[in-house]
Amino acid sequence: MIRILANDGIADNGKQLLEDAGYEVVTDKIAQDDLMTELNNFDAIIVRSATKVRKELIDASPNLKAILRGGVGIDNIDHEYAESKGIPTYNTPAASSEAVAELVFGHFFALSRFIHRSNRELVAKDGDFNKLKKAYAGGQQLRGRTLAVIGFGRIGMAAARIGLGLGMKVVAVDPFKEEDTVKLEFADGRSIDFPIKTISLEEAIKQADYITIHVPGGNLINTDEIASMKDGVIIANTSRGGVINEDALLEALNSGKVAGVALDVFVGEPKPRRDLLEHPRASVTPHIGAATNEAQDNIGVELFEKIRDHFAKK
């Protein structure tokens, strides 16, 4: 029987699908250090962001036949090295796009209307209702604003779809495509296609009132990029910690150059720096972009399909 270790968990539906198909699925967490001796007892491993599958672990697990990531990014896996050893890496890029995009706009609304701050302060024992009502009366609406989507893949396009639905102007950045079409679909079955041409990062961030970042990693936004943005810009990063230079970001938050930042990912996970977490211009969440019931079910199904297809080829 093919044994699969879901070391960071798997949705119940995905586990059931795998077991119904005859696979053994183990969901008991194995500590990272213990994987060096334990992973060789499995044919495949499913991870999220917590477990790392590096070169040394791959070398210690000659029986391993597939590595799967329940999510989009695979930076916690030495996937090129695994591929060189004949071990493919699969992810689930289609499963959580809507969930991540909706979280971005949850943060955008919170920052634009000071929901994150007024909620904390109003429920405090010394929260002064009338004082807070006056202090947070200067919010802004998203309609008519310009949204820059950096990384125009599935998640970026889902974010663009929401922005267009809200009446925003959308510009997109992606080095791998010159144009793509965002489809707005309505409950009554109608749909509208919006073709969007991509532009350079430099052009996009100069135009944007709101910026959302959906790239696999790297150091993208530094002091120079922030300096070229509009005063009062609002930025969201739900992709990877470090895509925005945190020192440069903190300086821009303190000066007011950046009016607000939404962060779901951080350099120091699981212990992000406190000066960012506690900043009054920051709306923060603990890496929950894909953490909806619907997205987890979608991920479970997609993981099952990847495993089924992989071992069917074998």
Counting the structural domains of the chain, the total is 2
Q: Say yes or no: 262 and 299 in one domain.
A: no
Q: Say yes or no: 303 and 259 in one domain.
A: no
Q: Say yes or no: 173 and 192 in one domain.
A: yes
Q: Say yes or no: 84 and 118 in one domain.
A: no
Q: Say yes or no: 177 and 104 in one domain.
A: yes
The yes-or-no verdict on residue 214 having pLDDT over 90 is yes
> What pLDDT is attached to residue 125?
83
CA distance linking residue 313 with residue 129, whole number of Å: 64
Q: Say yes or no: 249 and 103 in one domain.
A: yes
Q: Say yes or no: 186 and 271 in one domain.
A: yes
SS (H, E, C) the chain: CCEEEECCCCCHHHHHHHHHCCCEEECCCCCCCCHHHHHHHCCEEEECCCCCECHHHHHCCCCCCEEEECCCCCCCECHHHHHHCCCCEEECCCCCHHHHHHHHHHHHHHHHCCHHHHHHHHHCCCCCHHHHHHHCCCCCCCCCCEEEEECCCHHHHHHHHHHHHCCCEEEEECCCCCEEEEEEECCCCCEEEEEEEECCHHHHHHHCCEEEECCCCCCCECHHHHHCCCCCEEEEECCCCCCECHHHHHHHHHHCCEEEEEECCCCCCCCCCHHHHCCCCEEECCCCCCCCHHHHHHHHHHHHHHHHHHHHHC
Average pLDDT on 10-29 reads 97
Q: Say yes or no: 48 and 165 in one domain.
A: no
Q: Are 173 and 149 in contact (CB under 8 A)?
A: yes
CATH number for 89: 3.40.50.720
Q: Say yes or no: 109 and 229 in one domain.
A: yes
Residues annotated catalytic, as ranges: 240, 269, 287
Q: Say yes or no: 192 and 160 in one domain.
A: yes
Query: Can you give the residue range of the structural domain that contains 122?
Result: 97-284
Q: Say yes or no: 126 and 262 in one domain.
A: yes
Share of the chain above pLDDT 70, in %: 100
Average pLDDT on 100-114 reads 98
Q: How close are the terminal C-alpha atoms of the chain, in Å? A: 14
> What pLDDT is attached to residue 201?
98
Average pLDDT on 189-217 reads 96
> What pLDDT is attached to residue 168?
98
Q: Say yes or no: 251 and 192 in one domain.
A: yes
Residue pLDDT, tens place only, 33-45 = 999 999 999 999 9
> What pLDDT is attached to residue 217?
86
Q: Which two tokens stand for residue 269?
A: 């996970």
The yes-or-no verdict on residue 314 having pLDDT over 80 is no
